[in-house]
Structures are given as C-alpha cells and as structure tokens.
Amino acid sequence: MKFFITALLAVAFSASPALASPAGEYAQHFSALSQLSVAVAQAMPADKYTFRPHPESMTFGELMLHIASTNYAFCAGLKDSDAPKDTVPAATDKEGVVKFLAASFDYCSAIIPNLSEAQLGQVHNSPDGRLPGREVLLAMYIHVAHHRGQAEIYLRDQGIKPPSYRI
C-alpha cells in the first residue's frame, strides 16, 4: 500500500512539474490570469481605447497600462530589482498597449516559477508596501483580477461580451 501511494504521488508530480517547485501553484494559475487579461485587452476595438465609463475613471487603454506597469513593479520587487524601463506606449495605441501588457505577463512568467522557498518567505518591495513573497504574489493576482473585472464592465458598456474565464 505504501508503494502505491508513493507511486501515485510521483505520477501526480511528474504530470505537473510546475507544482514541484515552491512557487508551482502560483505559476500554474498565472498562465490563466495572463491569457484572460490579454484576451480582454484584445477584445476592445482600437477606437474604444479612449472609452471611460465615468469622468473619474481611467480610459480602457489607461487601465490596461496600469495593470501592465503594476505587474512589472510587483515582479521586479520579487527579484529585489527595479522594474524594466520599457517605453510605455500611448494609452490610445491598442497594438502597443496589448504588447506591453503581454510583455508584463511574460516578464513575470520568467520570475514566478523560479522563486525559491526563501524568496517566497522573504519580505520584498511591492506597490502595496513591503510584503513577504507569497503576499506579493497574492496582491498582484488580486490587483490584476480587480482591474480586469473593471475592464470587462468597460467591454459590456460597449456591447462586447468579455472573453470567458478559464483556469
């Protein structure tokens, strides 16, 4: 029986190598977070990147740039470094905004799966203050989901059905 349980666990972890790393669960869910967020940015027509549902709201393009810039800040904090100094596109440039957003997720995708147990427990700088690595990741995921949810309302206000959520 002991052999069976050991073999079952070995198969489970070999089927999902990302889960074998200390940050594996975070990395596994980050892909879905990334794909849906970029799909939301792609769903809005270029001429609607200036849309804002309320005068005090960010435009759709500004909202997407905010998500991207904050992704860079969270993930650079996890590396205890400065965020890359990429040129931020104009909020009205859909193609540039989508590329910048996707690049921010790619940047984080290169960092998250490689975080050690020590880095996950260590305190880092983040847009939400100094937090342990696990909390930085949680704060980033909440931040993306919060603002992507806003963006989906922007889409609906324009008569566009948002992309479906997938994990």
For 116-150, what is each residue's pLDDT tens digit? 999 999 999 999 999 999 999 999 999 999 999 99
Could you report the per-residue pLDDT of 21-70, keeping only the tens digit for each? 777 788 888 888 999 999 999 999 999 999 999 999 999 999 999 999 99
More confident call, 157 vs 27 = 157
pTM for this predicted structure: 0.86
Per the CB < 8 A criterion, the answer to whether 36 and 148 are in contact is yes
Give Dmax over CA atoms of the chain in angstroms.
65
H helix runs in 44-132, sequence order = 60-78, 94-111, 117-121
